[in-house]
Amino acid sequence: MRVLAQPAFVLHARPWRETSLIVELLTRDHGRVGVVARGVQGPKRHPLRAALQPLQHLRVDYLPQGELGRLLQAEAVDAAPVLQGEALMAAFYVNELVLRLLPRQDPAPGLFERYGCLRAEMGGEGSLAWTLRRFERDLLDELGYGLPWDQDEAGQRLDPAARYRLDPERGPVRDTRHQPDSPSGAALLALAEDRQPPPAQLAELRVALRSVLLAHLGPTPLKSWGLLSDLARLGRE
């Protein structure tokens, strides 16, 4: 049965055979969907090819066919944000994270809405680091991997002055040894309360959330993590 006028965001597109693309979409009602867009390389198909770019918001018609469906039509809803530098690399990171963690055909309407908000935020003037930490938190929550960010394993409110290790299953566990990847209670409370913390605490959250994400990603890290690290190092040189 055809799926018609389905809202979707483009996560990734790669060449397939000589004239086609395999496109990964985050749809509103059907989660992550892979489709083949046939014959998009000719000059007459340029508008369609241009619409199948990462971050683009679309309305799509497609025919589900097992693992990969067939794209029938795609219409851009608006213009994708124009990102450069760190913001562009962050967008690649977010898309890769969703691709790795969200199974195909697993409806996630809350994640679709959250991705739309993130897309708008990444083109704004706010802190990119805070935008990413909030999305990582919300992505874990939407996928059922969320943690009690403001409570320890005993249900006690975190001590802002203490350090905690983020256990992927149990949540914050007090760390009296102050390991490098253990954020402060103050940083975790800010994350739980959706309140942007100071830069040092944002850095703590980056390391801690990455350790949680790695537990769910498995042994293969994200390619974009390496690219982001390289970009940050170049910015310091």
156, amino acid identity? Q
| Lookup: tokens for 83 | 């990102």
Q: What is the pLDDT of residues 105-138, one digit of tens each?
A: 999 999 999 999 999 998 788 899 999 999 999 9
DSSP-based three-state secondary structure for 92: helix
**How far lies 85's CA from each of 10, 12, 115, 227, in Å?**
20, 18, 20, 11
**Structural domains of the chain sorted by starting position, each given as residue range(s) with its CATH number in brackets:** 3-76 (2.40.50.140), 85-236 (1.20.1440.120)
Lookup: tokens for 108: 């996630």
Look at residue 34 in the predicted model and tell me its pLDDT. 97
The reported pLDDT for the residue numbered 235 is 47
85: left (phi over 0), alpha (psi -120 to 50) or beta: left
Distance between CA atoms of residues 34 and 21, nearest Å: 10
What number is the average pLDDT over the span 155-180?
Answer: 94
Q: What single-letter DSSP state applies at residue 158?
A: P
Cα–Cα distance between 237 and 232 in angstroms, integer?
9
Residue 158's CB is within 10 A of a number of other CB atoms, namely 23
The pTM score is: 0.91
Q: How confident is the model at residue 237, as a pLDDT?
A: 39
Would you state the pLDDT for residue 229?
60
Q: What SS3 class is residue 106? A: coil
Q: What pLDDT does residue 162 have?
A: 96
Beta bridge mates, 36: 22, 70
Long-range CB pairs of 192-200, under 8 A, 24+ apart, other chains included = 192/149, 192/150, 193/150, 194/134, 196/127, 196/130, 199/129
Kindly report the length of the chain: 237
What pLDDT, on a 0 to 100 scale, did the predictor assign at position 200? 96
Bigger pLDDT: 43 or 152?
Answer: 152
